[in-house]
Amino acid sequence: MPEWRKILFYQRKYFGPRKGLVDGEKFYLSQNGKKDPSAELNATLESFFSGEEGDLSGKCKFPRRLKWLKANLDDENYQIPTTNCPSFEKWIQVVDPKGVVLVFSSFYINNPSSMFGHSFLRFIHSNNPLTDYGVNFAANPDTNNMLVYTYKGLTGLFEGKYSLLPYSVKVQEYNNSESRDLWEYELNLSQEEAINMATSLWEIGDNSIDYYYFDENCSYVLLTLLDTANDHFNFADEFMLWVNPADTLRVINQFPNLVKKVRYRPSSQKRFRFRYALLNSEEKDIFSDVLREKYRLNELQDYFSKESVARVFDAVSEYIDFKEKLAGTEESVKYPLFRKNLLEARASLEVISTPLKIDPPVEERPEYGVPGARLGAQYSYSYFAGNAIDFELKPVLHSLDSPSAGYAKDAQIELMKLLLRYEFKSSTLFVQNLDLLNIKSFPSLDPPLYPIAWKLRAGIEQDNDCNKYGYLSSCERSFLQGGTGFALLSGIFQIYTLAQADLAYQEVNGFEGSFGVYTGISLRPNHFSVFSSQLDWMKRYSFTYNSERTRLFLENSLSYQYFSRIENKIFADFNLENQDWRVGTGIYWYFF
């Protein structure tokens, strides 16, 4: 009974038997219903034939099951009874789903719950998308601490629930408040299929689903809901281990004729940058002066043309909305009276604004990127340590020294990246690196916006500054590192410089504190290749032994992508402090 299992959300994970995804106590009627679909079938039929009527009856609580069972069991001799369900009928009339849109909100590195992007659904019921309803599944976190959030998300300690909100609220949250691009994929579904999904959503109701960062996350749980649309969908079965939100888009786009239309909603920051780019140098000076309130707004047109003043006012308005995360009728906090006067002065000009024509950045469409998980091997030779082979497993997601197709050029997100090294000289297999997290956010300085670049890394590594001749267990280093500075991105060229510091422990040097500079450049001639060079300088001080040492390390790599899921890298690293170098090449395969 595969269809019965789908509408009850039985899923197989980690190659084990199927079991129910929903953890709320009121979803499965049988005591063994979470593991036994036959027992749940019997309990459901027993509920339907109990004689109970109205909203509290099983037939009203589980209308999706009722529809499926009647379609498959009813005949001239056997009829499952029905009843009036006022609450459900009113709810489905309000939602009125005529179609479905899968929405992807771009990567938001400043929020732990959305750093990999976020996906949700929109039920179409009118010609105005903002009046539609958004379907969201998310954790209910009790912390904003990135490390605590990661731990709880990995171990399922957050309760996840569905919510149904006006789509305008989701646009405000993601598009405006968090300044994230929205990619909308309208699906080629019938109204009946949309109603099937809405009815399954009604059945789940307030029941919780334990939220796991890697697998039972927003995207995977939404795929299980999409699977209930008809008997042909089995998207959730594509993912056995972990799920990245962008990977779900690739699965959807691979299904023949499923995606009908793609629409792009630029973020509030991109809307402002579009308006600001329309200004000439004189108008940019006026823009700055208007923000400093050096002019009476109504007198500007006495000195400049109406068209010029209109462009400036439009840019200032978008700037205030972006900086204060405003939308619709929301009021400014920093510029309350000024913004009101600005809008009135703008209206008095009676000049039509230049239409917002922001072309979708096709190269950033999330489904065009490689899948988030990576498996690889690399060979290298070190002047002192000799030959080595590395084996890499990276569950998520993207690094700045990899090609950028489908991903942001200014952000890196890696969790649980493992690099095992086998040294031929010592015949030893050991952990070269285990990055619990390695996050970089390098937004570009672009006046009048001056965002801060930052990075955060934590993990375990074999410290090559400690012993250049190969593996030494006492040189294993546990560390927490952070840095902040600035970055500049212009065309194919990117440069960044950050002050950095870390705290660490290793057996040979004890507890250490370090400070230094991290700087680098990247060249991306296209979206499928990148040259990257980083210089890492640190001055380390041992609190345990009252000693100092220096790290000066230069990394260079050239990566290119081919066959859509294969990446090749050539690298040359130089330890300038201990006069060692390592050169090598690697090949990597990306998978779901």
* pTM exceeds 0.95: no
Question: 131 CB contacts (<8 Å, ≥6 apart)?
Answer: 125, 166, 167, 168
Rounded to an integer, what distance in angstroms lies between the CA atom of residue 206 and that of residue 227?
Answer: 20
CA atoms within 13 A on the CB side of 73: 16
pLDDT class of 47 with cuts at 50, 70, 90: very high
Percent over 90 (pLDDT), the chain:
59
Q: What's the DSSP call for residue 446?
A: B
Rounded to an integer, what distance in angstroms lies between the CA atom of residue 106 and that of residue 115?
Answer: 9
Residue 345 pLDDT > 80:
yes
Question: What pLDDT score was predicted for residue 516?
Answer: 98
Q: Say whether the peptide bond before residue 397 is cis (omega within 30 degrees of 0).
A: yes
Per residue in 246-281, pLDDT (tens digit) is: 888 889 999 999 999 999 999 999 999 999 999 999
Six token digits for residue 220: 């995977």
Question: What pLDDT score was predicted for residue 240?
Answer: 75
- Could you give the 3-state DSSP secondary structure of residue 208? coil
Question: What pLDDT score was predicted for residue 368?
Answer: 86
Rounded to an integer, what distance in angstroms lies between the CA atom of residue 338 and that of residue 115?
Answer: 34
Q: Are strands 428-441 and 580-591 parallel, antiparallel or unpaired?
A: unpaired
Question: What pLDDT score was predicted for residue 327?
Answer: 61
Mean pLDDT, residues 471-489 taken together? 95
Q: CA torsion, points 292, 298, 301, 306, in degrees to nearest 10?
A: 100
Residue 114 pLDDT > 70:
no
Per residue in 163-204, pLDDT (tens digit) is: 999 999 888 888 888 888 999 999 999 999 999 999 999 999
Residue with more model confidence, 143 or 44? 44
